[in-house]
Structure 1
Amino acid sequence: MDALRERIAAELVAARERSNLLTALDDRDLTSQVSPLMSPLVWDLAHVGNYEELWLLRAAAGVEPLRPEIDGLYDAFEHPRATRPTLPLLPPDEARAYIGTVRNMVLDSLKDLREDRLFLYEMVIQHEHQHDETMLATHQLRKEPSGLTEPSADGLVPVVPYRPETFIPGGPFTMGTDDPQTYDNERPAHVVDVPPFFIDTVPVSNADYMAFIEDGGYDQERWWDPRGWAWRKDKDAKAPAFWFREGVWLRRRFGDVEAVPPDQPVQHVSWYEADAYARWAGKRLPTEAEWEKAARWDETEQRSRVYPWGDTYAPDKANLGQQRLQPAKTGSFPDGASPSGVRQLLGDVWEWTSTDFHGYPGFQVKPYKEYSLVFFGPDYKVLRGGSWATDPVAARGTFRNWDYPIRRQIFAGFRCARSA
């Protein structure tokens, strides 16, 4: 148990270090709202602490509430993002003091850690990392330079030649997981029979997407889902979010302007844009089951892996954890390929699938319906794989993300598939 306590403590600290870095701003920047799509950063900061208090102090340790009067302020389901600036939120200093008190009490409570409550600790760690990615999306929406720094990505990852697409044989495979430390929407493991298909070996690149634009892809209704065409006209969308053209294609990334690198996976595209590109290319978006089979299924061993490359996380096999503040080049991480040879399935960009978000057969709520159940239905599309901004704790091969098909501020791209 000592090793388990040390691991949980270290992961809690690592998540908080990232949160602190992303909120190391003056009070004006923390309390202002850069877009109605996102919360003020000070809301995210106090929210992660309130969530931690609810689950690790009250639920896991049986501690009396510290600040019950603020629970409603930081309930993500009670107040949509657009209205959160109007709430009497804790000011930055008070928010930091509150979450610091919560964290100290949680670390002290680890001496009484029970294995039957381990899921709650794993859930809170993942929750904070997920909010760190949300906070990065907020930084991306800011017009002024964010001050975020990064090492140069050039030359750090070798790019190895690859074939354009990979054939995945038809047949059954095990989708999902029975791991009790995963989220409810990932469970239970179940067998799905998938017809044979082809899938792109790497995500669609910026250069690929530029070809779609240059061919008039945004001006031809025939490529678009009717709802997507209405969205494109309403928003006057002509390129991925944050792109603009001044002779060459440029993009704004964390407030700085740079040339769009042609050899990176495209990101900040909506599901409608991804779907239109796939139609233009004579393909389609993969179903969620196709994506997971390409990512996890080992045909030789007749089993599903935890990660494309195996059952143990390896930091040198994927672009995860905010180590680079952008996608790696397409064709990177050949050693991180799945058994079928598909690359960059984890990290770089979240990948849109054609599937609506729903529960698996035998789905059971754990620990609360507002995490997954209330989102099931045709309004949300599933994304898989994680982005460069996703922490490894939330980037296993079964992890499911979801969002509205109009969303572009998230670090999302896609790859295409076609039926065999």
Structure 2
Amino acid sequence: MTLASSALQAEALVLRFRRIRSRSLALCAPLSPEDMLVQSMPDASPAKWHLAHTTWFFERFVLERDAVYRPLHPEWHYLFNSYYQSVGPMHARPRRGVLSRPTVQQIRGYREHVDDAVGERLMGGVDPTTLAIIELGLEHEQQHQELLLTDIKHALACNPLLPAYAPKAAPVAASAPVPLTFIEGREGVVESGHDGNGFSFDNESPRHRTLLQPHALANRLVTNAEYAAFVHDGGYREPSLWLSEGWDTVCREQWQRPLYWQEDLASEFTLAGVQAIDPEAPVSHVSYFEADAFARWAGSRLPTEAEWESAASTLPVQGNLLDTHALHPRAAEPQGGLLQMYGDVWEWTASPYISYPGFRPLAGSLGEYNGKFMCGQWVLRGGSCATPREHIRASYRNFFPPHARWQFMGIRLGQDR
């Protein structure tokens, strides 16, 4: 590689770095400083914390690789570390909302300082390991962009005024409902996991062989209308449909409908405030327990993650993702084949979040990123309307505990054949 081409590559990476970092700030533009402090539940984080933590990541794991660098505010390491125990202690996650200081303005200054320092480091030339960590940091930032949106949605939904985050996106021309059909999937031995082209998280590897039994996947996601039928049929009152822990959760939390549906079952809270439910749009904000119970009620099951990946790997990454600016699931368009595999809602699978055969976490502190959460969680696939398009791929493994539902989580049915 010539010096000129190397400089161009560095410049391109700096531009990508600043573009992704700027999007986080843009997502906060509709928020007031008061909005950015709210933490509505232990699983969520304040918007200002997301801005600071993603910056801490670059300072701690990129800039501090250079022994000459001195952190801007060393005491902030304690505030904005998330779960990297090997790096040092951290402020308790459920109490992030009490951090009125540093201020939003100070955190913005922190981001500018770190962004400038990383840009200078890139233009001065960095080793392959540092480049890989910067790439990981950008993917990490995109994860937090989605979390920022879903966390603020939960916070605003807890406000009795039910305020909107942003105006409703321009409506898409209505089309005829797409009938639910099932499409045969591949069977036999298939390759699963990341193929080595481009970025991936460590939990997507190694690529390995998986045996698929005869099966079929639904051509589209489960709609609000279909889920409403489950609700009206007493789905939340019939214990035989639920896993034992799921039924305990339904009774304890008094669940009667998806998270943001209103009592009239005709409207729901969205990032644009309360809106009429589109019966043909995918149902969203349902837990694994709800997805599993619905599938059982519908005489089907949830797909395994290998079945989902086998089907998705043949399709282009396109759909209602963050880049459409809809910020809400949309009805499927009448086309052939598998629809809505990417975007709209993350799709619960029947697969527990465990390691692939031969899995090895990243070396050092970054090895805490994914591997240590492989217990008591379930895999979701496909991204959502809050996922950046360049962030998602067929092998991407998201994971959450089975009771979680504040993310854009939905359902695609599978069947045995």
TM over 0.5: yes
Distance across 1 between alignment mates of 2:68 and 2:342:
37
Match of 2:233 in 1: 215
Q: Are 2:136 and 1:123 equivalent residues in the alignment? A: yes
Distance across 1 between alignment mates of 2:361 and 2:66:
18
1:115 positional shift: 3.9
Match of 1:69 in 2: 75
Distance across 2 between alignment mates of 1:160 and 1:27:
42
Query: For the aligned residues, what is the CA RMSD?
Result: 2.2
Q: Secondary structure at the match of 2:210?
A: strand
> Which of 44, 67, 78 is the aligned partner of 1:38?
44
Deviation digits for residues 19-76 of structure 1 (CA, Å, limit 9, x no counterpart): 1123233322222323333112211111111111122312379734333221121111
Letter in 1 for 2:406: Q
Unmatched tracts of structure 2, length 5 or more: 1-5, 84-89
1:81 positional shift: 3.0
Match of 1:6 in 2: 11
| Range moving further from structure 2, 185-194 or 24-33 | 24-33
Distance across 1 between alignment mates of 2:149 and 2:116:
25
| Range moving further from structure 2, 392-401 or 28-37 | 28-37
Match of 1:174 in 2: 191
Deviation digits for residues 165-187 of structure 1 (CA, Å, limit 9, x no counterpart): 11113111110024262110001
| Range moving further from structure 2, 114-123 or 410-419 | 114-123
Distance 1:28 1:391, change over 3 A: same
Match of 1:319 in 2: 320
State how 1:20-419 maps to structure 2 within 5 Å.
Answer: 20-24=25-29, 25-59=31-65, 63-77=69-83, 78-87=90-99, 89-111=101-123, 112-141=125-154, 142=156, 143=159, 144-155=162-173, 161=178, 164-179=181-196, 181-246=199-264, 249-254=266-271, 256-296=273-313, 305=314, 308-309=315-316, 317-322=318-323, 323-331=325-333, 334=335, 341-367=337-363, 368-377=366-375, 379-419=376-416
Distance across 2 between alignment mates of 1:160 and 1:208:
12
Distance across 2 between alignment mates of 1:6 and 1:223:
56
Distance across 2 between alignment mates of 1:185 and 1:79:
26
Q: Secondary structure at the match of 1:382?
A: strand
Deviation digits for residues 284-340 of structure 1 (CA, Å, limit 9, x no counterpart): 1111111111211xxxxxxxx5xx23xxx5xxx3111242111121246x4xx8xxx
Distance 1:175 1:82, change over 3 A: same
Unmatched tracts of structure 1, length 5 or more: 297-304
Q: Secondary structure at the match of 1:213?
A: helix
Q: If the length of structure 1 is used for normalisation, what is the TM-score? A: 0.88
1:89 positional shift: 4.4
Q: If the length of structure 2 is used for normalisation, what is the TM-score? A: 0.89
Distance 1:342 1:61, change over 3 A: farther
| Range moving further from structure 2, 380-389 or 169-178 | 169-178
1:349 positional shift: 0.5
Distance 1:234 1:187, change over 3 A: same
1:210 positional shift: 0.7
Distance 1:72 1:162, change over 3 A: same
| Range moving further from structure 2, 57-66 or 75-84 | 57-66
1:80 positional shift: 4.5
Distance 1:60 1:145, change over 3 A: farther
Distance across 1 between alignment mates of 2:220 and 2:98:
43
Q: Report the count of equivalent residues.
A: 395
Conservation of the 8 A alpha-carbon contact between 2:258 and 2:284: yes
Distance 1:283 1:163, change over 3 A: closer
Distance across 1 between alignment mates of 2:169 and 2:178:
24
Letter in 2 for 1:412: M
Distance across 2 between alignment mates of 1:217 and 1:137:
26
Letter in 2 for 1:152: A
Conservation of the 8 A alpha-carbon contact between 1:60 and 1:120: no
Deviation digits for residues 259-306 of structure 1 (CA, Å, limit 9, x no counterpart): 11011111100000000000000111111111111211xxxxxxxx5x
Conservation of the 8 A alpha-carbon contact between 1:136 and 1:389: yes
Distance across 2 between alignment mates of 1:227 and 1:163:
30
Distance 1:69 1:241, change over 3 A: same
Conservation of the 8 A alpha-carbon contact between 1:8 and 1:121: no
Deviation digits for residues 370-400 of structure 1 (CA, Å, limit 9, x no counterpart): 21111012x1011111001001232111111
